[in-house]
Structure 1
Amino acid sequence: VMLFFFVMAACNEKYKPKVGHQTSYTIILGSLISVILWFGFGDSRVEIYKFKQNLFFDFLLPPIILSSGFNMRRKKFFENIGNVAIFGLCVTFVCFALYSLMGYLAIQ
């Protein structure tokens, strides 16, 4: 599936289609593979291919975030730096307060 993603990225770069993105094509391919596995092999074989959260958070999410940050328009980001900073500080404070409260309630 990853190889398909990279091939589709190269095709998108070369042919520049009006609709679609390599991510869309990869999601469609993954869905087709899932349907084939589900109806072709049943429940017993599908358990082997069950989604693992650790795999996603450790190996798949970091490249997604890196790609998003790398492709971000710097001018737009710095035009909104005030909003980004306020949002970041507020969310950090809210998370700190909630985790502190939950921790306090858990030990009571």
Structure 2
Amino acid sequence: MVERSDRFPHIQLKFERAGIAASPQGGGKPNAITSTNTSNRQGHGSKLKSSLDSLICYWQDSQKTREEEEKPPLPEKAIPIILQIDPTAFDARAISF
């Protein structure tokens, strides 16, 4: 509920003190990749482990190269990892690192 709509004069806001909130329309077709990975958990886990091992190897090689080039080492917490996740599978805001 917006108490102070005068802060946003450029936005036309409808102010109501009582009523029922409209629930979002959910459902829909599940993501095909998520369905495949869910049905083959062991294979998907093995693929993730293999990818992680490759990333670790690449990181160690990068650190070794930097050392040979007399560059300062990068912090251990700076390992670059990019994840592709299905945003409809779970609430990513609930995860904390």
TM over 0.5: no
Question: Which structure has more helix as a fraction of its residues?
Answer: 1
> Computing the radius of gyration over CA atoms, which structure comes out larger, 1 or 2?
2
TM (norm. structure 2) is 0.28
Name which structure has the greater RCO, CA cutoff 8 Å, separation 6+.
2
